[in-house]
Amino acid sequence: MENKWKNKNFFQSLKNALNGVKFVWQYGSNIKIQVVFGILVTILGIILKISKIEFAILVLTIFIVLICEVFNTAIEKLVDLYTLEYNEIAKIIKDVAAGAVTLSAIMSIIIGIILFLPKIINYIAI
C-alpha cells in the first residue's frame, strides 16, 4: 500500500519543510519576536567584534530557540487535532512544550550575558 504522505523526492521534502516554517512564521507570534532578538544580538555581536567561536555559539543559540518554537507549535497543533475541548492532559502537554521554549530562551539569555557582558564592560571602560 502506497503512503500518500510520503515525499516523492528531496525537493518535495524541502518544500514541505519550508511550508512548515512558513506556517509557524504566519501563525506564531513568538517566533517573530525571537527572530527580531536574534537579528539584534547578531548585529551586537558584529559591533562588539566577537570571535568566530563566539559567533558560532551565538548562531547555535539563536537557532535552538527557533527550533524549540517550531516544535512547540507542532505539538500544540497535534494536541488541537486530538481535542478542541479543555483537557487537563492536553494542557500539560502544551505547557511542557512551551516550557522547552522558555528554557531555551533562558539559556540564550545566559549565553548572551557570558558573551556580551565582558565586551560591553570593556567597551564602556575605554
All cell numbers assigned to 89: 492532559
Active site residues: 69
Residue 24 corresponds to which amino acid?
V
Task: Tell which residue, 116, 103, 112, 46, has the closest CA to residue 71.
Answer: 103
Residues near 32 by beta carbon (within 8 Å), at least 6 away in sequence: 25
Q: How far, in Å, are 56, 67, 73, 87 from residue 27 at the CA level? A: 29, 15, 9, 23
